[in-house]
Structure 1
Amino acid sequence: MTSRVEVDSPAGFTGQQPRAVRKALGMLEAVAQLGPGTTAKEIARFAGVPPTTAYRMLNLLVAEGFLVRVPDLSGFALGRRTAELSRAAAATDTAASLHETVETLRSHTRFGLHVASFTGGRLRFVDQDPDHEIVGIGLLAKNLHANALGKLMLAHNPALGVGLELRRLTDHTVCDPEVLRAELVRTQRDGHAFENQECRLGRSALAVPVRNHAAEVVGGLCLQGSPLRVSDTDPEQLGFLHDGSRQLTGLL
């Protein structure tokens, strides 16, 4: 006698389980990237999921404990089960050398130092400096034109810039397509990107590519600090970053 295993599937996703799983994972990544309090609309936009589908899946993820609603019910945060997965991953992390290498680099600079991944055409932080919080982190992934890491992504993957909305976040934000295009050409030529209070006043940043062993750009190393101290013409800062990116080759 042949036994049959019944698999529960959420209403509306029958026969499309692989796509549904990818969407759910993208929504979890959205909350992880954008932070607690992320709204359903922001999650749907980040994950590329239609709003009606997003609401159904969010309810499911909350019911299963992967997400929770923030106290004022305005948005979502990662839940207990996601935290358990994170702890389990950390305990078996095969790329621990990435964090160790970055921590060593941090011991040689007074600036904030962060590492981001560009996998899948998304800007995602994989190692944030615990002593230098990134204020407004949710803005970075949504406004690639206004931050150093985003410019690095655009310079090495021009397709991401097609149809990109150049929103003005501060008086320093580059919103002219031709000016941005020229800056991206310089970024690729010179090997670094610069941000001068374009995403947030009082903050500047330098970013250089992190490559895999095939020399492909898979992420970025970013140095962040005061506009009075971070400069794209400082040979010491640029040398430090380029040396650090070489140490991170193949670790991301």
Structure 2
Amino acid sequence: MLEAVARLGPGTSAKEIAKFAGVPTTTAYRMLNLLVADGFLVRVPDLSGFALGRRTAELAHAATESEPDISLHDVVEELRGHTRFGLHVASFGGGRLRLVDKDPDHEIIAISTLAKDLHANALGKLLLAHDPSVRPDPELRRLTEHTVDDPVLLDRELSTIRCDGYAVENQESRLGRAALAVPIRDQLAVVVGGLYVQGSVERVTARDRELVQFLFDGARRLTGLI
């Protein structure tokens, strides 16, 4: 349940946590009350959901202090050695999408559209899903026939991203290209960036559960490094 709140972000509801953890809602409520009582979770101000509490932050801080200093680039380079895909890291600082570590061996196709057309790529949709202060361009420019240009459909997709914990891009910025992105968080579980993989539509797909899990595990190792 702590992992559900960490992945889905502050304000996650009990129903969303129950779905993520695969437990009945009644069981989730009982366990959530215990976690709140012990300080591992707190209720958000409007009582609509939960966020990580002080004791969880203390555990994360203690774990960080017990590990040797390591840079984001060191971890990403090590991850690149375990996959045939190119891995890229973006920062969402200040509500802006900015690439902070690009894979030198794998070019990002349509890179100029990432920050400009947030609705048309996995990193941009990840930012939109987790930072309510950032809004997509009202025009929702159509880059390909697959680009989502309907605000209602985009809102639904952003809700799915918050629930599933990752974003998908399928020929929305360039025909024949697909991508996946998972959130990178700080020590308080706030989404501060994304781990991004892009490739052909045949190779990069959410149906590849091994790839999705690899990205989740990699993003977890990057916690607190942006």
Match of residue 43 from structure 2: none
Describe the superposition over 1:132-174 as per-residue Cα deviations: whole angstroms up to 9, x where unpaired. 1113211110000000000000000133126533000011100
Match of residue 123 from structure 2: 149
Note if 1:201 corresponds to 2:180: no
Question: How many pairs align?
Answer: 158
One of 129, 132, 140 as aligned partner of 2:103: 129
One of 201, 219, 222 as aligned partner of 1:245: 219
**What TM-score, normalized by structure 1, do the two folds share?**
0.61
Does 107-116 or 153-162 show the bigger shift? 153-162
Describe the superposition over 1:191-241 as per-residue Cα deviations: whole angstroms up to 9, x where unpaired. 000000101112110000000011100000011111011111221011000
Match of residue 194 from structure 2: 220
One of 136, 148, 151 as aligned partner of 1:174: 148
CA RMSD, aligned part only?
Answer: 1.3
Identity %: 64
Distance 1:96 1:162 in 2: 35
One of 80, 92, 111 as aligned partner of 1:118: 92
Q: Which amino acid is 2:122 matched to? A: A
Distance 2:149 2:132 in 1: 16
Note if 1:234 corresponds to 2:204: no
Distance 1:178 1:233 in 2: 25
Distance 1:106 1:157 in 2: 28
Structure 2 residue runs of 5 or longer lacking an equivalent are 1-68
Question: In structure 2, do the counterparts of structure 1 residues 132 and 226 end up closer, same or farther at CA, with 3 Å as the change threshold?
Answer: same
* DSSP 3-state at the match of 2:162: helix
One of 156, 161, 166 as aligned partner of 1:192: 166
Structure 1 residue runs of 5 or longer lacking an equivalent are 1-94
Distance 1:232 1:134 in 2: 19
Return the structure number with greater relative CO, CA threshold 8 A, min gap 6.
2
Question: In structure 2, do the counterparts of structure 1 residues 230 and 120 end up closer, same or farther at CA, with 3 Å as the change threshold?
Answer: same
* DSSP 3-state at the match of 2:115: helix
Match of residue 104 from structure 1: 78
Q: Specify the structure having the higher radius of gyration (Cα).
A: 1
Distance 2:207 2:165 in 1: 13
Distance 2:134 2:221 in 1: 27
* DSSP 3-state at the match of 1:238: helix
Distance 1:238 1:136 in 2: 22
Q: Post-superposition, which runs of at least 4 consecutive aligned residues in structure 1 deviate over 4 A?
A: none
**What TM-score, normalized by structure 2, do the two folds share?**
0.67
Distance 1:162 1:196 in 2: 18
Distance 2:92 2:140 in 1: 20
Question: In structure 2, do the counterparts of structure 1 residues 162 and 175 end up closer, same or farther at CA, with 3 Å as the change threshold?
Answer: closer
